[in-house]
Chain A
Amino acid sequence: MAKVIVVTSGKGGVGKTTITANLGCTLAKLGEKVCLIDADIGLKNLDVVLGLENRVVYTLLDVVNGKVSAQEALVRHKQMRNLYLLAASQVATKEMVSPEDMKTIVKSLYPVFDYILVDSPAGIERGFRNAVAAAELALIVTTPELPAISDADRVVGLLENFGFNDKSMKVILNRFKIKMVKAGEMLTQQDVESTLALEIVGVVPDSEEVIIATNKGLPVVLNGDMSVSKVFENIARRLKGETLPLDEDISQMTEKGFVAFFKNLFGRKRG
């Protein structure tokens, strides 16, 4: 039976889709059979981040309308053979799918997968309710900025109304800039953890590699920065039940060694 996880945030543009894609790829790399569902109907992007936009034949709406079964609508990833995508429709609206439809689709995929990740749209309306309907765990993505944390807090309240609790809600802190934190110009992971009163399951660094990877249509964990890949691996392992300290994520962001010493000395930046 699959573990169903919704990736949500409240605020748009915090990196939900990127995190869903990378986390899905990492879990698949770890040998799990993973299905990604794009619940952002009308503004779908997950297929683009995964580089599968030309392979999508059937969408979530076709499944809801009974045209094909959920399994028939799945697209297999080019590189990760145990990673599948159920794409959203570009032309449909979120109102065309109901939370009950979502539950039925997820139920039909339950026995086939180890993990089902649902990429939620921004906002707290119908699309959000569809995305969370079948989930047992919610990953709330936020950046260390006030509007994102404030919206994340609002989402936490709504998720509590849907029956989630502090065990079934976890936070991913995205676009973390260690240099700014060290300079006292960015909220720390402890600040976010204490204000949201939820466990942080991963701290993802702000990385230009993510933009490059999206341009190539390959998630960063498959083609890019090793430190980002390591962070996603840590998150995946934590989701699988392993206990790994958050410091392991933070330490990936701190350059060490001989090269880093000279980089700092001459103030040269990578990239």
Chain B
Amino acid sequence: MWFFGLFKRRRREKSRETAYKRLETILERRRPVAVTEIIPKNEFEENSEKIKERIVDWVSDTFKVQKDRVKVEFEEHNGYIVIITNVLFE
């Protein structure tokens, strides 16, 4: 049977199919993230320090770095809070 397999033509994926899949992936990354829950501004402000501490703890544990080497900042962009985390690795 393997002999016949030698003559069997493999279906080559057309470049249009590859292009379409790649295009979908490229554009999907740009699509806005679905917002499932909105946290009121005052609630966020009251707990911001706690959130920062939790992030520092998690990053410190995950990357095995000292807590003072992790810096967390919040910035507002178009009504969203962007969490910027800097880790200073040795």
Q: Determine if B30 and A187 form an interchain contact, defined as CB atoms under 8 angstroms apart.
A: no
Chain B contact-residue range equals: 10 to 19
Q: Determine if B30 and A153 form an interchain contact, defined as CB atoms under 8 angstroms apart.
A: yes
Q: Is B1 an interface residue (CB 8 A)?
A: no
Pick the residue among B16, B20, B26, B30 that contacts A181 (CB under 8 A).
B16
Q: Is B33 an interface residue (CB 8 A)?
A: no
Q: Determine if A188 and B23 form an interchain contact, defined as CB atoms under 8 angstroms apart.
A: no
Q: Determine if B15 and A146 form an interchain contact, defined as CB atoms under 8 angstroms apart.
A: no
CA distance A153 to B14 in the complex (A): 24
Chain A contact-residue range equals: 10 to 19
In the complex, what residues of A have CB within 8 A of residue B19's CB? 145-146, 186-187, 191
In the complex, what residues of B have CB within 8 A of residue A181's CB? 16
Q: Binding site of B, secondary structure by majority: helix, strand, loop or mixed?
A: helix
CA distance A188 to B23 in the complex (A): 13
CA distance A180 to B27 in the complex (A): 23
Q: Determine if A184 and B17 form an interchain contact, defined as CB atoms under 8 angstroms apart.
A: yes
Q: Binding site of A, secondary structure by majority: helix, strand, loop or mixed?
A: helix
In the complex, what residues of B have CB within 8 A of residue A191's CB? 16, 19-20, 23
Proximity bits, B1-27, A CB within 8 Å = 1, else 0: 000000000000011110110111011
Proximity bits, A238-249, B CB within 8 Å = 1, else 0: 000000000000
Can you offer 19 A-B residue contacts whose CB atoms are under 8 A?
A146-B19, A150-B23, A150-B26, A150-B27, A153-B27, A153-B30, A184-B14, A184-B15, A184-B17, A185-B14, A185-B16, A187-B19, A187-B20, A187-B23, A188-B16, A191-B16, A191-B19, A191-B23, A195-B20
